[in-house]
Structure 1
Amino acid sequence: MTAGFPEAAPWGEQRASHTDRETVVERLQQAAAEGRIDFHELDERLEQALNAKTHGELAVLTTDLQGAGLQGVGLRGIAGAGRELVEDRPLILKGGLHGVVRKGGWKVPSRVTAHGGMGGVVLDFTRAECPPRAIDLEVHGQMAGVVVIPDDWAAETSGIEPGLGGVKDRTTPDHAPDAPLLRITGTGGMAGVVVRHPKGRERRQLEREAKALTSR
């Protein structure tokens, strides 16, 4: 020990930052999307990650996931590595008690998994930044699920199990052969899933925004 200065705590006992926790959360979500852990275990690990105080507490949540996606990067380097991961990694959304809404200019990867939960999930792709050709959406309606796509998009809903709530595909069936495609799988759950184009009020809002952009 240097005179007048205490020795630094071992790395595992050092306090974790918000960035450390967020990076581990992203890693766990990726692992679930890859099928390495199930969603029940994902819930447990996410709760532990968000409540972790030290690097050591975070490290135990990902030690059995090394080599998956991070290619062996340890937690000491995970904060930097998390920013270098491919931006197109799967996105997992959970409605929980309060629901989840994604709309506006949100960035959409090529694979999305959405669990409606008690509060439901609303996914609006009309202003989103999306891959140019196709998106794979796994949706579990549970208590509610609504998906809104642009008029020139196509939706493929034959892969959804209807469940008790069923699946309502209200999209236009005729599209250009090269139209962006939303491939939807999963289950309608208790309340079902609705896939549709924008309604009148939503369409008028989109038209106003488009005119505002062209007038600049």
Structure 2
Amino acid sequence: MTPIPENSPPPIGDDDRDTAVQRLQDAYTEGLISHEELDERLHHVLTATARSELVSALATLPEERPGTTSTIAAAGGRILRRGVWRVPRILKVESAFGRVRLDLSRAVIEHPTVDIELQLGTGRAKITVPRDAVVDVEGLHTGWKDLRYKARRSRPGGPKIRISGTMGFGRLTIRHARR
């Protein structure tokens, strides 16, 4: 194994590459770039070794669509999303004293990676993810109680759900859907 030089840039992660591919496909679908330009830029993204190469492939595209980030906020009470609903690329959930229940098992997930940013004071939170989802909780900080999540082996092709943010005195439970 060859050691990585100390001053080299960090390697490009699969999530960054997937997000870049998704942005290019969206730009093509919206008519912002031609088919030839899509092919050329996809080649640059898929063969990129440095983050600057990803940036240059996306440079002339508009920023991500406004609909890709949503915020759900409540001072108290309950935040509930279940059934068939469209999950944005970035979902911010803010609650000071209430309970949060997000059920993504039947939700429409159009992005390969979904970021859920939690800012919760007290109260419980429960998130149900699709059966084939990969869950990443590295960016989550819990205060009083621990996280309840048992990682599962996932099948290829499922969405990646990254959960980050801060939880004060409540408990977060994450489970995979049974069907």
TM-score by length of 1: 0.49
More relative contact order, 1 or 2 (CA 8 Å, 6+ apart): 2
User: By how many angstroms is 1:121 displaced?
Assistant: 1.1
Provide runs of 4+ in structure 1 moved above 3 Å.
none
Residues 5-53 of structure 1 deviation map (CA, whole Å, 9 limit, x = unaligned): xxxxxxxxxxxxxxxxxxxxxxxxxxxxxxxxxxxxxxxxxxxxxxxxx
User: By how many angstroms is 1:96 displaced?
Assistant: 2.5
Matches within 5 A, 1:149-168: 149-168=129-148
Aligned to 1:137: 116
Aligned to 1:105: 84
Matches within 5 A, 1:1-216: 86=65, 88-142=67-121, 143-172=123-152, 174-198=153-177, 203=178
Q: Calculate percent identity across the aligned residue pairs.
A: 23
User: By how many angstroms is 1:138 displaced?
Assistant: 0.5
User: By how many angstroms is 1:177 displaced?
Assistant: 4.2
- Identify if the C-alpha distance between structure 1 residues 147 and 118 changes in structure 2 by more than 3 Å, giving closer, same or farther: same
Partner AA of 1:165 in structure 2: K
- Identify if the C-alpha distance between structure 1 residues 175 and 132 changes in structure 2 by more than 3 Å, giving closer, same or farther: same
Aligned to 1:30: none
Gaps of 5+ in 2: 1-63
Partner AA of 1:95 in structure 2: A
Aligned to 2:31: none
Aligned to 1:13: none
Partner AA of 1:164 in structure 2: W
Distance 2:174 2:143 in 1: 15
Alignment check: 8 A CA contact 1:139 1:187 kept? yes
3-state SS in 2 of match to 1:88: helix
User: By how many angstroms is 1:191 displaced?
Assistant: 0.8
Alignment check: 8 A CA contact 2:132 2:157 kept? no
TM-score by length of 2: 0.58
User: By how many angstroms is 1:179 displaced?
Assistant: 2.5
Distance 1:157 1:108 in 2: 18
Partner AA of 1:98 in structure 2: G
Larger radius of gyration: 1
3-state SS in 1 of match to 2:109: coil
Distance 1:179 1:106 in 2: 17
Structure with bigger helix share is 1
Gaps of 5+ in 1: 1-84, 207-216
